[in-house]
Amino acid sequence: MKILFLGENSSQLSAECLDALLKAECGEVAVGIGAVAEQAWSRRVINGLRRHGLRRELQSFVRRRLRWHDRTIKDILAAHPAASRFEVSNINSPDNVTRLRTISPDVIFVVAFQQILKPAVIAVPRLGCINVHPSLLPQYRGPAPYYWAQRNRERVTGVTIHYVDEGIDTGDIITQEAFEIETNDNDRSLRKKSAVIGARLILETARRLAAGETLPRRPQDHAQATYFASP
């Protein structure tokens, strides 16, 4: 089975999911690393916190930012030099769509990738595009579920594996797993918990696909959906 993995270098969820796939040898893996600038992303979050008047959160964010990531995608790939990789600033560009068709993946796994896939990309893999999202969809769609789950004082969150469609986190659900948010949890601990669960679920999904299984598809209840943009 050919796998194309799309993730962001600075995401722990991306790194742990990729590590699980490479170690398990579920198939040939190519890696597309999102080229969204880390500084630009950080600036957007910081400006958002400032707009909301959240000075304490801003100070805490700046302190934590240096300690969030235990491993990156590039750290993982250093231990797997045979895995092909490329950086991508626009996955939907005609050149990249051509590249994807040349790679001809059976499945595309998307993990914390900060680009929305358009129909030409979604149509490439015969087994579909599958996303790992760190919330219990349809709740907390969008790019910052960790932040908003804490801000809204949720007691439970989780990880969802779902098919990618043309919406944002709206595709059919394959599987989910919930976990409790403890009183001492923060961004770092939630990211770690989500990364552990996400890595296990993506590995189970890849193994089932490699074995020729048809994955379950449960449509989301859009009437129950919530969406939160970057703060």
Mean pLDDT of 8-22: 96
**Residue 124, pLDDT above cutoff 80:** yes
Mean pLDDT of 87-97: 96
Q: What is the CATH number of the domain that holds 146?
A: 3.40.50.170
In a domain, 134, yes or no: yes
- Residue 48 pLDDT: 62
Mean pLDDT of 67-73: 71
Specify the number of domains making up the chain. Answer: 1
Cα dihedral 119→123→127→128 (10° resolution): -10
In a domain, 199, yes or no: yes
Confidence of residue 66 (pLDDT cuts 50, 70, 90): very low
**Residue 67, pLDDT above cutoff 80:** no
- Residue 25 pLDDT: 85
**Residue 35, pLDDT above cutoff 90:** no
Share of the chain above pLDDT 70, in %: 85
Strand partners, 129: 108
Condensed to tens digits (0 to 9), the pLDDT of residues 154-213 reads: 999 999 999 999 999 999 999 999 999 999 999 899 999 999 999 999 999 999 999 999
Question: Rounded to two decimals, what is the model's pTM?
Answer: 0.87
Region of poorest pLDDT, from 24-38, 107-121, 164-178, 205-219: 24-38
Mean pLDDT score across all residues of the chain: 90
Mean pLDDT of 90-112: 97
- Residue 70 pLDDT: 73
Amino acid at the residue 148? W
In a domain, 229, yes or no: no
Listed as own residue / partner, the contacts of 90-97 with beta carbons closer than 8 Å and 24 or more positions apart are 90/115, 91/6, 91/32, 91/115, 91/117, 91/121, 92/116, 92/117, 92/118, 92/120, 92/121, 96/121, 97/121, 97/124
In a domain, 166, yes or no: yes
- Residue 37 pLDDT: 46
Share of the chain above pLDDT 90, in %: 81
In a domain, 188, yes or no: yes
- Residue 230 pLDDT: 85
In a domain, 230, yes or no: no
Residue 104's domain comprises 2-224
Strand partners, 130: 109, 163
Rounded Cα gap, residues 4 and 107, in angstroms: 6
In a domain, 67, yes or no: yes
Amino acid at the residue 83? A
Burial of 212 per CB tally in 10 Å (0-12, 13-18, 19+): exposed
Rounded Cα gap, residues 111 and 134, in angstroms: 9
In a domain, 52, yes or no: yes
**Residue 59, pLDDT above cutoff 90:** no
CB-based contacts of 129, cutoff 8 Å, min separation 6 = 107, 108, 109, 110, 117, 121, 122, 163, 164
Mean pLDDT of 1-13: 96
